[in-house]
Structures are given as structure tokens and as C-alpha cells.
Amino acid sequence: MDKKRTVVNIAVALAVGCAFLLVWLIGRRFFPQLGKLYTFDWVLRRKLLLAAAVIAAVPALFGKFRFSCSVFAGSCLGIVPGELLGRDPAGAQFGLGHHGWWIWIAVFLVSIAAGVFFEILHGKKVKRKTEEGT
């Protein structure tokens, strides 16, 4: 791997990490009312946003940018359906009043699978172009 590619990979990994940091800052510092949302608060309290940042940033170091973008999008977008669809008033008496946490996890896992799919698809395109060029 050449030096320019290494610098680009490191820059993208840092950008992904900064994007996750920005999401945390928006939720905790700039708009603290977002922290009152069950799903967002649950994800932050359990350090899952930090885990998602690591899961997204490390592959970026190896040039897997599509995977990193997919994981970032899934971890952020998973909060929305988790919050909107997670309420379960019937289960509240049993301590199951909100299912936003498992909705977020499901969206996050789907985003990981989508990221893997995008990387495989991109690899096939690159291979096809390489074969056509020779």
C-alpha cells in the first residue's frame, strides 16, 4: 500500500470517529433534550455509540469506506425507528415499556450486513474493471 493511500485511510477513519463524536456532542451537549429520548440515552449509556465508532473506524483504516459509512448511517438512523416504534405501554407493568433498544440493535446489525454487501459489490466492480483494462 502506498503512502498516499495510507494517509487517505487514516483521514477517513478519523473523519468517521469525528462524525460519531459529533453525534454524541449533539445529543449530550448541544441539544440535551435529545438525551431524554429513551433509545438515544440507552445507546449512549451503554457505550454502544463508542463501540459502533470503533466498528466503523477500524475497517476505514483498511480502505473499507462503504462499510464505515453504512455502519455510521445505521447507528444514527436506528435511533429514529427505535424511538418511534419502541413504545410498548402494555409491557410497562413487566418492565418492558420500551423496545427501542432491540430495534436499534436490529438496524445496526442490518447496517453491518449492508456494509459488507457494499464492499463485496465494490470489490467485484473493481475486479471487473481490472480484467477489462488488461
- What is the band of 105 on the pLDDT scale with cuts at 50, 70, 90? very high
Q: Closest Cα partner for 10 from 52, 66, 58, 79?
A: 58
**Percent of the chain whose pLDDT exceeds 70:** 84
CB 83 within 8 A of CB 34: no
Continuous segment of H or E residues that includes residue 129: helix 100-133
Q: Hey, what's the cell of 64?
A: 473499507
Concatenate the DSSP letters of all residues of 39-86 into one string. Answer: HHHHHHHTTHHHHHHHHHHHHHTTT-HHHHHHHHHHHHHTHHHHHHH-
Give pTM, 2 decimals. 0.83
In tens, the pLDDT along 83-94 reads 888 876 655 555
Average pLDDT, the chain: 87
